[in-house]
Amino acid sequence: MISSFVITGFLGVGKTTMLTNSVQHYFPDKKIAVIVNEFGDIGIDSKILTNVYSEVLEISEGCICCQLSEEFEKGVTEIIANYNPELIFVETSGASEPFPIYMSLQNLGVTVEGVICVVDAKHFSAYKENSTAKYQLGGSNIIVLNKTDLVDETEALAVENEIREIKDKYNIKNTMTGKPIFNHYVIHRAQHGLVNKEVFEGVYRLEEVLKFAEDFSHHDHTSKDSLGQKVVYLKNDSYFADVDAVLQNMPLSIYRVKGVVKVKDVPQAIVVNYAFGDVTFEELDVYEGKSLLILIGENIEADVQELCRKFEILSLPRFTLKS
């Protein structure tokens, strides 16, 4: 189970700086692969990233957004085979939209933890009417207001309000059902190209998720910004439809869910990945532990309690998570 983030945003908003600084600060011990989707013939950003990461794959603009994504998917497959990364970052060009990349990663079985759109707080007014910029916001579920050290609080709030208006209008939807792909989103702020660690909260490898089922001595984790995580167990006689019903009714305060569940009507255990309303499942051949879900979000205590009251298959453990 490989996790990934897609980084999008208009030309010059600081995507590469944010990616470089954030990964250096928050993932120093993880094996990272970065894929740079360049615009034009000269790959400036990839040259910068080569100095930071051991694997950088540069792909021309047209291959991801204008063709059938075959070269992109082939490149990701090669990086996985040759490098075996724990986490993949895909930085799109400032002139492309993120959703085709999101779909390609899902097609490859790569978990997309978030589509991050970086916004220039100082110069947003200069490009906010550009259609690509609008669809970049519409196709994202994590919005990072960058360069907030260059504006005052009033200006930052004004930009956030404009972002919400654009997001509401251009929020990407399923063409079959008319429902949003991501049922909600969050806005974070960044200064000097460094975003808060909460953006990446809850990015667990499969073995880390399994460890929660074995550890009976941890306590609740809640950050200073009210971001927290809780574990819930599932009853042994649950069915897949029961699990799906829980995920379809996840409160908006809970924006990421990881877990492994065993249900009566599926022979293998199921790995659950939920991000902002989008759910993917993978089968796990061998698993003898408890069925559990790790719920990550903001101020989630009351909502988790209500979720357990609403769905009888859920129960809160008598232990809590380590910080």
Tell me which CATH code domain 206-315 carries: 3.30.1220.10
State the pTM of this model.
Answer: 0.75
Question: Phi, psi at residue 165, to the nearest 5°?
Answer: -65, -45
- Of 65, 34, 31, 62, the residue nearest 48 (C-alpha): 34
Q: What phi-psi label fits residue 289: left (phi over 0), alpha (psi between -120 and 50 degrees) or beta?
A: beta
| Pairing status of strand 221-222 against strand 194-195 | unpaired
Q: Could you say which of 3.10.129.10, 3.50.50.60, 3.20.20.70, 3.40.50.300 is the CATH number of the domain covering 3-200?
A: 3.40.50.300
Instruction: State the pLDDT at residue 288.
Output: 82
Q: What is the Cα–Cα distance from 148 to 146, expressed in whole angstroms? A: 5
How would residue 286 be classed by pLDDT, with cut points 50, 70 and 90? Answer: confident
Tokens representing 211 are 């460890």
Q: What DSSP element (H or E) covers 182? A: none
Annotated domain spans of the chain: 3-200, 206-315
- In this predicted structure, the answer to whether residue 251 has a pLDDT above a threshold of 80 is yes
- In this predicted structure, the answer to whether residue 39 has a pLDDT above a threshold of 70 is no
Please, what is the average pLDDT of the chain? 80
Compute the chain's Rg from CA coordinates: 20
Q: What is the Cα–Cα distance from 18 to 7, expressed in whole angstroms? A: 9
Tokens representing 52 are 């930071």
Instruction: State the pLDDT at residue 208.
Output: 62
pLDDT digits (tens, 9 = 90+) for 128-153: 999 999 999 999 999 999 999 999 99
Q: Regarding predicted confidence, which is higher, 66 or 16?
A: 16
